[in-house]
Amino acid sequence: MSPLARIASSACLATFLVAVPLAARAEDRPSTPDGTVIAIDSGDLVLDLGAAKGVHEGDLVELWRPLRIRHPVTGQVLVDRFRIGSLRLKQVRSALSLASVEGTLSRPPATGDLVVLPTTGTREAPRGAAVVVPFPANTSTTGTPPPQPSAASAAPREQPVVVDPDGLALGNLMVALTGSEPTMRIQAYETFVRSHPNSRFAKVLREEVAQLRPARVPDRHYQVSAPALERVRAGEPQRFAVELDAVFVGAVVHVRHKGAPGYQSVPMESIGARYWAATLPREAMLEGGVEYFVEGITKESPAVALVGTAETPRAVGVDAQPGTARPPGTLAQVTLQSEYASFNVKRANDYVWQTEGSVGWRLHDEGIRAVRSGFGVLRGKGGNLRDLDDLGKDPTSVGLTYGYVEGEVTLSPTFSLIARPILGLREQGITGGAQGFVRIGNDLRTNLAIGGEVLGTIGQRGIVQLEWRTIRHVPIVLRTEVTNQPAGSSDVGARAIAQVGYQLTDELVIAGRVSYQGRTINHAGPGTGLAVSYQW
């Protein structure tokens, strides 16, 4: 908008506002409030404003919203208040009053809002006693506003005074829009015209909207590169970065939990030429979604919306909070799994069937991380390949019932050691064994375990296991083994295992397992299994 056009538009509005008897101006903002909204009861507002302060039933008072905001860039605390509408006193007691909303408020009322009595010259008489005075004429030709009555000649508060509902509504609107952006002014003017189609102010407001609309279009097109956030994790801060034109000297990202009334503003820091970054606070990362928008700051303008706007922010999904956020000492787990694996599906003379259950407690991420105890039953048949395949001998049957305790000790948040001593019973008597792993990563997230097992006369096996936990509600286990079990033969076989689970609830997970194992290409077979775990 050209300066001449803006001056003309402002002058046009001023001509109408001179004729609005009750229109408040920004400079008329009261310095001291007369009362406060202390409660809201069944739609009525309870005010600490009583007859002791000279008010009566039917009086009209002003409602103001106090604000205290920290500037997102400078850090300066800004304190101010804005008029949001009017109230009508319904009942007046000595110290308290009941009031109802008069007309339309620009914001919903809230406890803590301030109440201000209009000045004597503008205080309205009780409802029903007011008269409407015709709108002053010929002000546009003379350029001189009509003479105002002196304070000495002002009518007593009990007498009928000038009331102009149309002008009062526009005056309230102008006060509410003090210091607002062009976009908000356009929306407010259009809303006023729609609700007051026959208002004598409608024409000039439409002209003002037409003049303000170009202000919504940026003076230039800025280059912005901001990879969209797809999902964030609940309760964890999220790093966010953008690439902006070199013209920007600062940037601010505004973030809120979806549905929250206001944004939390986070100044972005420069991390190189054209690059700006900030950490979105964990307080906004709540299940249900996150909304954000980014503003850039140039030397010419205080803020330019670049990625989304306050009215149309970008939306981000939020994953459920992981188990690592549970308080220490509260995560207990019970598991039960069973598996059948055939090393020779052609003759069914080399297989193992194993069922194992455990109960454990996860304690901390440092020191002793977990303690577990369990039992197992292993049954199977096996032997040397020459005896089984070439000579056709019967396989050796094996069986073991065993129990164990297991402990996991962390050396760092992403590195731990696992040890499991085993004590078992077989037909020939008692036997023992052990199992040990090195875990890289957190056990409640994606991690890699490398280790092995020695188990009595059953045999040995080396194990590499990857627990993949990047897909929500779908834990995946990929495992390989090199083993001579179940009969401890001199012929070693290899196993490939894949297990996929589904988290039915936050506590319950069920999983299915498939495998393929063999000692030679002709001595091999599939396997399958099931597992269930419950944690709380």
- Whose CA is closest to 22, among 172, 154, 178, 151? 172
Average pLDDT for 293-322 = 77
First-to-last CA distance in the chain? 64
Q: Write down the pLDDT at residue 339.
A: 96
| Alpha-carbon span 62 to 64, nearest angstrom | 7
| Interatomic CA distance for residues 349 and 392, integer angstroms | 10
The DSSP-derived string for 246-287 is TTEEEEEEEEEETT-SSPEEEEEEEEETTEEEEEE-GGG--T
Rounded Cα–Cα distance for residues 236 and 227 (Å): 19
On whether the CB atoms of residues 342 and 327 are closer than 8 A, the answer is no
Which residues, 6 or more positions from 250, have their beta carbon under 8 angstroms from its beta carbon? 73, 267, 268, 276, 296, 297
Q: Give the position of tokens 């004729």.
A: 19
DSSP E strand boundaries for 171-263:
224-225, 231-233, 238-244, 248-257
**pLDDT the model gives residue 149:** 47
CATH, domain range 3-216: 2.40.10.410
- What's residue 130's pLDDT? 38
Specify the amino acid at residue 492: V
| CA 330 to each of CA 362, 369, 475, 531, 535: distance values in angstroms, whole numbers, following the listed order | 7, 12, 21, 23, 10
Look over the chain and give the mean of its residue pLDDT values, rounded to a whole number.
79
> What are the residue ranges of CATH 2.40.10.410 in the chain?
3-216
**Numbered ranges of CATH 2.40.160.40 in the chain:** 325-535
Q: 191 and 202 in contact (C-beta within 8 Å)?
A: no
Question: Are the C-beta atoms of residues 459 and 486 closer than 8 Å to each other?
Answer: yes
Closest to 488 measured CA to CA, from 398, 390, 401: 398
Query: What digits encode the pLDDT tens for the residues 214-252?
Result: 444 444 566 677 666 767 777 778 888 888 877 788 888
Q: Start-end ranges of CATH 2.60.40.10 in the chain?
A: 224-319
Q: Is the pLDDT of residue 160 over 80?
A: no
Hey, how many other C-beta atoms are within 10 angstroms of the C-beta on 463? 19
Tokens found for residue 285: 């990362």
User: What backbone torsions phi and psi does residue 350 show, to the nearest 5 degrees?
Assistant: -150, 95
Question: CA separation (Å) from 62 to 69, 226, 262?
Answer: 22, 45, 25
- Greater pLDDT, 173 or 500: 500
What Å distances lie between residue 24 and 115, 136, 521, CA to CA? 15, 18, 92
Interatomic CA distance for residues 352 and 62, integer angstroms? 84
449-472 pLDDT per residue, tens: 999 999 988 899 999 999 998 898
pLDDT, position 213: 59
| Closest C-alpha among 98, 141, 106 to residue 24 | 106
The CATH architecture of the domain made up of 224-319 is Sandwich (2.60)
Which residues, 6 or more positions from 328, have their beta carbon under 8 angstroms from its beta carbon? 363, 364, 365
The amino acid that residue 335 corresponds to is T
Q: Is the predicted pLDDT of residue 324 greater than 50, yes or no? A: no
- For residue 337, pLDDT over 90 is answered with yes
Tell me the sheet residues that pair with 497. Answer: 479, 515
User: pLDDT tens-digit profile of 46-102?
Assistant: 998 888 888 889 899 999 998 888 777 777 778 888 899 999 999 998 888 999 999
pLDDT of residue 301: 62
Beta-sheet pairing, 314-319 with 231-233 = parallel
Write the CATH number of the domain with boundaries 325-535.
2.40.160.40
The pLDDT of residue 139: 39
Can the peptide bond before residue 421 be classed as cis, meaning omega within 30 degrees of 0?
Answer: no
pLDDT of 119: 62
Give 408-415 contacts, CB < 8 A, sequence gap 24+: 408/368, 408/369, 408/370, 408/371, 408/372, 408/439, 408/443, 409/367, 409/368, 409/369, 410/364, 410/365, 410/366, 410/367, 410/368, 410/369, 413/365, 413/366, 413/442, 414/440, 414/441, 414/442, 415/439, 415/440
146, two tokens = 């009509």
Report pLDDT for 284. 77
pLDDT of 199 higher than 50: yes
Residue 26: pLDDT above 60? no
Q: Do 463 and 450 meet the contact criterion of CB atoms below 8 Å apart?
A: yes
- The DSSP result for 467-532, as a single string, is EE--STT--EEEEEEEE-TTTT-SS-EEEEEEEEEEESSSSEEEEEEEEEEEEETTEEEEEEEEEE
Structure tokens at 491: 């012929």
Give the residue from 227, 242, 232 showing the smallest Cα distance to 282: 232
Q: Is the dihedral of CA 208, 211, 213, 219 positive or negative?
A: negative
pLDDT of residue 212: 66
Rounded Cα gap, residues 291 and 285, in angstroms: 10
pLDDT of residue 7: 41
**Residues 6+ positions from 104 with CB-CB distance below 8 Å:** 85, 169
Task: Determine the pLDDT at residue 322.
Answer: 53
What is the mean predicted confidence (pLDDT) over 487-511? Answer: 92
Q: Which residue has the higher pLDDT, 7 or 429?
A: 429
Query: Among 333, 328, 352, which residue's Cα sits nearest to residue 506?
Result: 333
Segment 100-128 shows an average pLDDT of: 74
